[in-house]
Amino acid sequence: MPVPGGSFTIERRVEVGFPTGVASDDSLASERTLRAEGHEEGWNQIIDKHLVEWGRNPSRFDPDEIVPPSPFIVAAACRVAMRLREAGWAAPLRVVPDGDGGIAFERRAGECFESLELAAQGQIELITFHKSKVIRRDRLPDVSEWA
């Protein structure tokens, strides 16, 4: 299934892992292993243990500490997670609220760190770091296009 807007970034990631040119051979090998051996189970855990739970219990986040993700953005994050699982993306390390009402899927491979960020208003951005330096910022289609 094609992923919205994935003509370059996402499909290329599915093919070769990080498209940055800076990931080491080891990290790319790690990416391939993750996809081959358990990416579906990893995504299922992210969806079932976190996103579904957040959706069932929207008051679990303390509004004095963070702006909790809305039911709208939690549902959107579920859709995005399912589509990326189907597209063969390696599962993220974790999913976290961003503190501003959005949600981020985070993944580390070697010295690279990726954060797929769903903003509270529905914009999606993939930010790639290498040794904590921003090396790419890719705007993806908004959550409304991930139905």
Partner 1 sequence: MAAPEDGTEPISDDEILYRRIPVGADWFDPGIDPRPTPKAFRPRPDDTTGLSLSRQKYKSLEQVAHNSHGKQYYVAELRAGDLRANGIAIIPDPLPGDPGHVAVSSLTYENRNDNRALEIQNALAEQLCLRVLGPFPRR
| Residue ranges binding partner 1 (CB under 8 A) | 50, 60-62, 64-66, 93-94, 96-100, 104, 106, 108, 113, 115, 127, 129, 131-134, 137
**Shortest spacing between CB 134 and partner 1, in angstroms:** 4
32 vs 137, beta carbon nearer partner 1: 137
Residues 107, 88 contacting (CB under 8 angstroms): no
22 vs 66, beta carbon nearer partner 1: 66
10 vs 91, beta carbon nearer partner 1: 91
3 vs 104, beta carbon nearer partner 1: 104
**Shortest spacing between CB 100 and partner 1, in angstroms:** 8
**Shortest spacing between CB 58 and partner 1, in angstroms:** 13
**Shortest spacing between CB 130 and partner 1, in angstroms:** 10
